[in-house]
Structure 1
Amino acid sequence: MVPATVAAAIQLAMEDFRPRGTKPHRGSDPVEACLYQRQSFDVQAAPSTDGLVLVRFSLSPGACIEEGPVLDMGSTYAVDPRQGRIVAVQPGASQAQAVSFTFPEELPLQGLVRLDGNTAAAIQLALEHFLPWEAPPSAQPACLDRRDSYDVTAAPGPEGVVLVQLTVDVQRCPPDPNESVEATSGKPLQEVVLYAVDVRTQRLLSIGRRFQRHP
């Protein structure tokens, strides 16, 4: 499982690293075109100090390589998911960023999450559909409009499909007792949203919703 704050940090960093809809320039060779694809990069992320999350993108083993070295080997981000902002980026950090934040050589092992490129790309596609960047605030409680309110679980399915499950982090967004409740206990139920994503074509195959008892 990817905790809500870490999932939100990865989404923010990914949107900067490989923005939606970015395409290779005309005349790009296959290696250059491959480097524009989100699924070409594995992701590591871990909580850091002061509520920040470190997110590192690195080229997936064997991806995009034909002959000779591939120069674009990824980046590391320091993200504040509470404020929805990127604090610093390495390489390419400005002098002001370099002074205010020092990146560690290795990401902290405590809470470290590793995602292969296909899984990371599938999660981003599901999250962008579930909470579109351009969507205005909804009529639901404000915490449900926040990207750092949803834990994410992903697993490979058949024939290049990745299943992505989103559940509310009840610590960040407590259930409303007036909403759906379990018939036998009268306790609030937890909504679960499940996406089936085709990573080969980068499209959503299906979206399902169900309710379950809170753990």
Structure 2
Amino acid sequence: MRHSLLLLCAFLGGCASRPPLPLRVPAEEAAWFKFPASLDASEQVVVPATVAAAIQFAMEDFRPRDTKPHRGSDPVEACLYQRQSFDVEATPSVEDIVLVRFSLSPGACIEEGPVMDMGSTYAVDPRRERIVAVQPGTPPAEAASFTFPMELPLQGLIHIDGNTAAAIQLALDHFLPWEAPPSRQPACLDRRDSYDVTAAPGPEGVVLVQLVVDDQRCPPDPSESVEATSGKPLQEVVLYAVDIRTQRLLSIGRRFQRHP
């Protein structure tokens, strides 16, 4: 299977040394959960592969998963260290650049008055796997190569609430660990900009995250599983259920579907 080596690598935890892989909910506690037949179309957010990769690169810089609050931090400061405290907006820009904006989620980290928004805007080139500029924060000499617009372009703009954005990052961090070595599968399957992402709320504080290969980045291999009636390759779907309250992976599954 296309992802079997990647998933085995992630399950065993031997492919990444920093940051550690996301924690799993013990099997006996997760037994109640069953994946639905499909994600709720009315509440799902669909993130194209290049945009999902750009968000992941930006998030790892903005709030690395292994970052901890400093000793003696108060509840508000501790809250500001959490990925789920920040909504995400992302949109394609010029020359394959994707703009990613992190902003404090409404109602997050409030204690005895409003908290200053600690957000940032990133210009990311997911094809070259690099951050081009950050606002604020990029030194003037480096910032000259890119000029941020006054507002994010509306065309293609995607808004993701903080809980859903954090769940997506947990799933992607587990699916493609940052320090994983190249697998024996096609090189495109090791790239973060090869997977379209769909996320939707699930039951009881669960966020469902679905990963599907972008066929334009990785054309299907005719030797893979095929549909009995048409003889065409089936599309593999990897599913994650994330317990957003504890920031742990509840369940991981796979299924196959027809290519669109």
TM-score by length of 2: 0.81
Quick one: distance in 2 between partners of 1:206 and 1:96?
A: 46
Q: Could you say which residue in structure 1 is the equivalent of 2:200?
A: 155
Which of the numbers 198, 206, 209 marks the counterpart of 2:251? 206
Which of the numbers 181, 200, 207 marks the counterpart of 2:226? 181
Quick one: distance in 1 between partners of 2:124 and 2:143?
A: 14
1:113 aligns with 2:158: yes
Structure 1 counterpart of 2:174, which letter? H
Structure 2, gaps ≥5 residues long: 1-45
| 1:72 Cα deviation from its structure 2 partner | 4.5
Q: Secondary structure at the match of 1:167?
A: strand
Structure 1 counterpart of 2:156, which letter? G
| 1:77 Cα deviation from its structure 2 partner | 0.1
Q: Could you say which residue in structure 2 is the equivalent of 1:75?
A: 120
Deviates more, 1:132-141 or 1:62-71: 62-71
Structure 2 counterpart of 1:177, which letter? P
Give 1:2-151 correspondences, 5 Å limit. Answer: 2-151=47-196
Quick one: distance in 2 between partners of 1:176 and 1:158?
A: 35
Q: Secondary structure at the match of 1:77?
A: strand
Structure 2 counterpart of 1:161, which letter? V
| 1:69 Cα deviation from its structure 2 partner | 4.3
| 1:36 Cα deviation from its structure 2 partner | 0.2
Deviates more, 1:199-208 or 1:92-101: 92-101
Which structure's relative contact order is higher, taking Cα pairs within 8 Å and 6+ residues apart? 2
Runs of 4+ displaced beyond 2 Å: 67-73
| 1:52 Cα deviation from its structure 2 partner | 0.4
Structure 1 counterpart of 2:63, which letter? R
Q: Could you say which residue in structure 1 is the equivalent of 2:29?
A: none
Structure 2 counterpart of 1:198, which letter? D
Structure 1, gaps ≥5 residues long: none
> Which is richer in strand?
1
Quick one: distance in 1 between partners of 2:154 and 2:142?
A: 24
State the identity as a percent. 87
Structure 2 counterpart of 1:41, which letter? F
Quick one: distance in 2 between partners of 1:68 and 1:118?
A: 22
Quick one: distance in 1 between partners of 2:83 and 2:149?
A: 24
| 1:80 Cα deviation from its structure 2 partner | 0.3
Q: Secondary structure at the match of 2:184?
A: coil
The superposition leaves residues 55-96 of structure 1 with CA deviations (integer Å, 9 ceiling, x where unpaired) of 000000110011244235200000000011000000011112
RMSD value, Cα: 0.9
Structure 2 counterpart of 1:7, which letter? A
Which of the numbers 210, 233, 246 marks the counterpart of 1:165? 210
Quick one: distance in 2 between partners of 1:70 and 1:90?
A: 19
Quick one: distance in 2 between partners of 1:115 and 1:53?
A: 15
